[in-house]
Structure 1
Amino acid sequence: MKDNFSAQAKTYATYRPNYSQEFIDYIASFVKNKTAALDVATGNGQVAAKLAKHFDTVYATDISQKQLDNAIPAGNIIYKVERAEATSFDDKMFDLITVAQAIHWFDFDAFYKEVYRILKPDGLFVVTGYGLFSTNPESDRLIHHLHENILGDYWDPERRFVDENYQTIPFPFEEIETKQFSETFTWSFEHLLGYIESWSAVQHYIRKNGTHPVDLIRDELKESWEKNDGRATFPLLLRIGKISEFRL
């Protein structure tokens, strides 16, 4: 698993979109028993904190201590620095395992072997995340230009799985049909910039060139953003599966 986010852990915690409680409640509604959940690559713990309303104990892991230093505290959440592909947990320990906006960085084969080891036979595995947001047409044009053209060569190859809405990742589970969700936020221009700053490709660009890629569109983007309503709508990605008998 790559660690692309330790350097901007505080930015990530401040500016990344949150998942609504309604969305996490929907995921939890599929789980029969709610003794223990695991949120892998938890980042700042935003999913773990909402799962904590449903489960007796939530474990939340990340390879970045800096990310966990910014995590949301709760009495029934246990944060641990661990790799997704090799955990210290007991066999068949979890009723639910979630991965939010991170599975594309994993070694799929090693991770899924671990999921099959630590997930209970009647437990569920959930992959979620969000795609590129949409907003007003003028800002959309500029943001797509930044995303596709300016940053095109700076995205890690694994990022294509997000662009493909997680439909092309390996998914060795019996899949459960789900509803479609989106989340809409109203952001200031400063918040928009903070979110873009958290993109891994932006950090790669800055390290290579010593300049900020947003500077190439900043003035035009600011004008378009501030004369519109500041709304950003993210399509949510969601796949839910249970252990397949064919894999046991």
Structure 2
Amino acid sequence: MAPELGSTARNWFEQGGKQYAQFRPEYPSELAAFLATVSPDLGIAVDVGCGNGQLTNQLAGHFEQVFGIDPSADQLANAVPGNNISYVCASAEILPIENNRASLVVAAQAAHWFDLPSFYGEVRRISVPRATVALVSYGVLSLDGDINQRFEDFYWKEIGPYWPAERKLVDSGYADLIFPFNEMKAPSMSIQKAWTLAELLGYIGTWSAVKQLRETGQTMLLEKFAADMTVLWGAADTRREIRWPINMRIGHITA
């Protein structure tokens, strides 16, 4: 049976909105463009669990009005502003949107934290007929060359036990989530960046598993990984190609 996540899941990103905004990779522009093409109209888009508004801001280039919803005031304090964007501090289970307004409801790298039955009930309430619903996630990054093996050992073996249970849903591309909508096939997309080691380590520092590891005092794992990567990486200003596959469950609301 597919999992249904409860509202008691810890909000790992309650703090650190500034770091999250600085180091989390941006979505490719084609993601927002695609979501606009499959929505019934370009009136209102709602980005649930919007964090610092990375996708929210991109959607604002396509929709007349965009609402960014997140339960973390710290995240919203670091959100990207826009003339047609309204950010609201609220949960996914009680959306502050009027009935029958949204043409698109999207949750990017966030749905694994939601109480899905409650969220889906709210999605149906706020949406227009045939509205588009999209649950977006990006998977485990891959690096170029042999350095990728050291990263994979760190991700799967060393820090693996410190990930919240919800992370498995991201690793599977949300394949195991209940999705009670008229589903369509999503196009292949990826996030691609050319980062220095400092940028990669800054991104890793935003992981929920790293926060848990620090709380348990096991920082030597981080120190060993950073030291190994420093040797393998080369010069500090070297930029290496990094890729995250984008996964998406997407469909339309039917009566």
Q: Tell me if the contact between 2:103 and 2:132 (Cα under 8 Å) persists in the aligned partners.
A: yes
- Please tell me whether residue 53 in structure 1 is matched to residue 34 in structure 2: no
Which residue does the alignment assign to 1:7? 15
Cα distance in 2 for partners of 1:221, 1:52 equals 38
Stretch of structure 1 that moved more, 110-119 or 65-74: 110-119
1:60 shift after superposition: 0.5
Judge conservation of contact 2:196–2:239 (CA < 8 Å) in 1: no
In the aligned structure 1, how far is the partner of 2:173 from the partner of 2:195? 24
Q: What's the CA shift for 1:229?
A: 4.9
Matched, 1:144 2:152: yes
Q: Cα offset for 1:236?
A: 0.6
Deviates more, 1:53-62 or 1:211-220: 211-220
Residue of structure 1 in register with 2:175 after alignment: 167
Q: Residue in 1 aligned with 2:96?
A: 88
Which residue, out of 219, 233, 252, partners 1:242?
252
Separation in structure 2 between the aligned mates of residue 174 and residue 221 of structure 1, nearest angstrom: 44
- Secondary structure of the equivalent of 1:183? strand
Of 227-236 and 58-67, deviating more is 227-236
CA contact (8 A) 1:205 1:212 kept: no
Contact 2:197/2:230, CA 8 A, preserved across alignment: yes
| Matches of 2:148 and 2:250, distance apart in 1 | 30
Provide the rounded CA distance (Å) in 2 between the counterparts of 1:164 and 1:31. Answer: 25
CA distance in 2 between partners of 1:203 and 1:139 (Å): 24
Residue 240 (structure 2) aligns with: 230
Where do 5+ consecutive residues of structure 1 fail to align? none
Amino acid at match of 1:209: G
Aligned to 1:176: 184
1:218 deviation in Å?
1.5
Other-structure match for 2:29: 21
Matched, 1:190 2:190: no
Aligned amino acid, residue 241 of structure 2: R
Name the CA distance, whole Å, in 2 between partners of 1:210 and 1:216. Answer: 11
Same amino acid, percent of matched pairs = 33
State the shift of 1:224 in Å: 1.9
Give TM-score scaled by structure 2 length.
0.92
CA distance in 2, matches of 1:114, 1:139: 44
Q: 1:74 to 1:45 in 2, by over 3 A?
A: same
After TM superposition, the structure 1 = structure 2 runs for residues 27-66 of structure 1, keeping only pairs within 5 Å, are 27-66=35-74
- How many residues of Structure 1 are paired with residues of Structure 2 in the alignment? 245
Comparing 209-218 with 121-130, greater Cα deviation is found at: 209-218
Moved more, 204-213 or 157-166: 204-213
Per the alignment, in what secondary structure is the counterpart of residue 92 of structure 2? coil
Q: Distance in 2 between matches of 1:6 and 1:226?
A: 34
- The answer on 1:73 being equivalent to 2:81 is yes
CA distance in 2, matches of 1:74, 1:97: 18
CA distance in 1, matches of 2:218, 2:244: 30
Shift of 1:212: 5.4
Q: Distance in 2 between matches of 1:226 and 1:13?
A: 26
2:3 alignment partner in structure 1: none
TM-score scaled by structure 1? 0.94
In the TM superposition, structure 1's runs of 4+ consecutive aligned residues that sit over 4 Å from their partners are none
- Greater share of residues in helix: 1
1:38-89: CA deviations, max 9, x gaps?
0000001011101001111101110000000000000110000000011222
